[in-house]
Structure 1
Amino acid sequence: MEHWIRVEPNVKIYVNDINPLGSKTILFIHGWPANHQMFEYQYNQLVPMGYRCIGMDMRGYGNSDKPLEGYGYNRLADDIRCVIGALGLQDITLGGHSTGGAVAVRYMARHQGYGVSKLALFAAAVPSVIQRPGFPYGTTREAIEQIIQATYDDRPKMLHDFGEIFFYRKVSQPFSDWFFQLGLEAASWSTIAVSKAWLEEELFNDLPRIQVPTLILHGVHDQVCFFPLAEAQHQGIRNSVLIPFENSGHGLFYDERDKFNLELSRFAK
């Protein structure tokens, strides 16, 4: 079931509500620069198990509206609040990949976890994408600035290069082409705006405010959000469990999809 949920007077968010009568609900928040379709290998296994899987496209991505502004984590978290409210969701698992994980963490802190009973973080860009004083574990500011400049100069090449480091296991060329197209469906300005947000946003103060059980899944070979970020999440979130994925990069939802789906299904019961 498809929905377009109004989150601002001129902004609607696309939501794909799969198996609305499922017994337990997982709301998936995708990473940059893809959209909810990146989780199709979760939907295909979890829905037959009885789960209600809801995939939303963040503003600027996929089928959602693409305004010129509103790409800070606060606004993106407010969009999640609008979706949860509009669908009347309660007692759900909120799952976020990469930047989607960062926005999910901000949601939990900013909206006191409204409607959410469990949080799942997948290769999350938390607590900071870049290195900061006292936190040497992220990538460099220069690396992010290079991504931003590359998006201005040649967005298809930037997306291609990003795809090359995304997965640990070799993917087929057709799969690579499909994943590349997900990035192209985003607006160029939203792709740039979220990249710029990485330089400003940090979530160190958000982590202690998470009060629900939290599952942290992270690839040991992640070249985008390095594994020490997961360890910092585990240290900062009470009642959290960290499960390393020994044969995964940033795309652990595909690299080790059977293990990923098993761990998520067990957690979301």
Structure 2
Amino acid sequence: MKHRIQVSDEVALNVDDFGSGQPLVFLHGWPANNTMFEYQADFVVENGYRYIGIDHRGFGLSDRAADGYDYDTIADDIQKVVDELNLKDIIVVGFSVGGALALKYGVKHNSSNLKKMVLLGPAGPSFVQRDGYPYGLKPEDVTALIEQINDDQPKAIGDFGEDSFFNSDIEVSDEYKQYFNAMTLTSSLIGTVKLAESLRDEDLREEIKSLDLPVYGIHGTADHVCPIEFSEYLEKEAPDYTLSKVEGAGHALFFEKKDEVNRLLLEALKK
């Protein structure tokens, strides 16, 4: 089933909803959409869960918007979906920037209705290097990427897609890479740029210290986009973060080692 859920006067979100049981709210990475979770969606539904896949504003089949690509607004979008669908006892699963958005959501909208979160290769607490945080890209590198996107979005996104499969010991077919690249190019230019700006500018290091719920991280040791140091930092600084390392997997661990990732995901769901 597909839902069109109005989150503002100008923006309705596409939400995929199938299966039954405890609802799992999936938050996709930049610049993809919730279709990227196909191998996880089928798996969790077969194991008795309800899959709720949100396309963020500006991505996939959701409406594009002039603004609202900051973490705070997107966290509110997620809560509006939860409220509209009357979801109870939810678990949030976030990949890459979806992991960072999950962190923001967990801080801002934590309640007894949110049971836990599972983060796959999260792009947080900060995607870029900062004072006291020497991990990830430099801010100017992301600015250069944004300039490349504004100049030639298909080429810039294609190059980024190669990075997602880079530095991994798993062979990924050219056909899957082409499929994934085509998926990312459904994203609006404005959404792609504005969410990249948020990746560059948002810093959740202080906020995660108040994250009062269990969080399980699943992270590839060969991740070139979101280094595993992100999750190691979260394990040290967040109150209740448990990290599972996927040896040899790059950023696209959701496909490269889907069987292992799905097994770890199910283990986290059942804890």
Q: Same fold (TM over 0.5)?
A: yes
- Over the matched positions of the two proteins, sequence identity in percent amounts to 36
Higher mean C-alpha deviation, range 108-117 or range 256-265: 108-117
Query: Is the 1:247–1:255 Cα contact (8 Å) retained in structure 2?
Result: no
Matches of residues 31-180 of structure 1 in structure 2 within 5 Å?
31-113=29-111, 115-167=113-165, 168=168, 169-180=170-181
Matches of residues 238-253 of structure 1 in structure 2 within 5 Å?
238-253=239-254
Q: CA deviation at 1:24?
A: 2.2
CA distance in 2, matches of 1:203, 1:221: 23
CA distance in 2, matches of 1:266, 1:4: 31
Q: CA deviation at 1:44?
A: 2.0
CA distance in 1, matches of 2:161, 2:10: 32
Partner AA of 1:91 in structure 2: D
Matched position secondary structure for 2:226: coil
Q: Which position in structure 2 is the counterpart of 1:265? A: 266
CA distance in 1, matches of 2:43, 2:108: 32
Q: CA deviation at 1:47?
A: 1.2
Query: Is the 1:93–1:117 Cα contact (8 Å) retained in structure 2?
Result: yes
Q: CA deviation at 1:77?
A: 0.5
Matched position secondary structure for 2:102: helix
Q: CA deviation at 1:233?
A: 0.9
CA distance in 1, matches of 2:214, 2:110: 14
Partner AA of 2:153 in structure 1: R
Q: Which position in structure 1 is the counterpart of 2:16? A: 16
Q: CA deviation at 1:23?
A: 2.2
CA distance in 1, matches of 2:94, 2:222: 19
Partner AA of 2:216 in structure 1: L
Q: CA deviation at 1:49?
A: 1.5
Superposition RMSD on alpha carbons, in Å? 1.1
Higher mean C-alpha deviation, range 234-243 or range 119-128: 234-243
Partner AA of 2:18 in structure 1: I
Q: CA deviation at 1:61?
A: 0.2
Matched position secondary structure for 2:12: strand
Q: CA deviation at 1:85?
A: 0.6
Matches of residues 205-224 of structure 1 in structure 2 within 5 Å?
205-224=206-225
Q: CA deviation at 1:114?
A: 6.2
Q: State the Cα deviation string for residues 201-234 of structure 1 (Å, max 9, x = none).
A: 0101221221111100111111111111110111
CA distance in 2, matches of 1:173, 1:228: 29
CA distance in 2, matches of 1:113, 1:126: 21
Q: Which position in structure 2 is the counterpart of 1:6? A: 6
Matched position secondary structure for 1:95: strand
CA distance in 2, matches of 1:193, 1:236: 28
Return closer, same or farther for 1:113/1:200 CA change in 2, 3 Å cut-off.
Answer: farther
Query: Is the 2:22–2:88 Cα contact (8 Å) retained in structure 1?
Result: no
TM-score (normalizing by structure 2): 0.95
Q: How many residue pairs get matched? A: 267
Q: State the Cα deviation string for residues 67-112 of structure 1 (Å, max 9, x = none).
A: 1111000001000010111111121110111111111111111122
CA distance in 2, matches of 1:33, 1:253: 15
Q: Which position in structure 2 is the counterpart of 1:195? A: 196
Q: CA deviation at 1:172?
A: 1.3
Q: CA deviation at 1:32?
A: 0.2
Matched position secondary structure for 1:8: coil
TM-score (normalizing by structure 1): 0.96
Partner AA of 1:179 in structure 2: F
Partner AA of 1:140 in structure 2: K
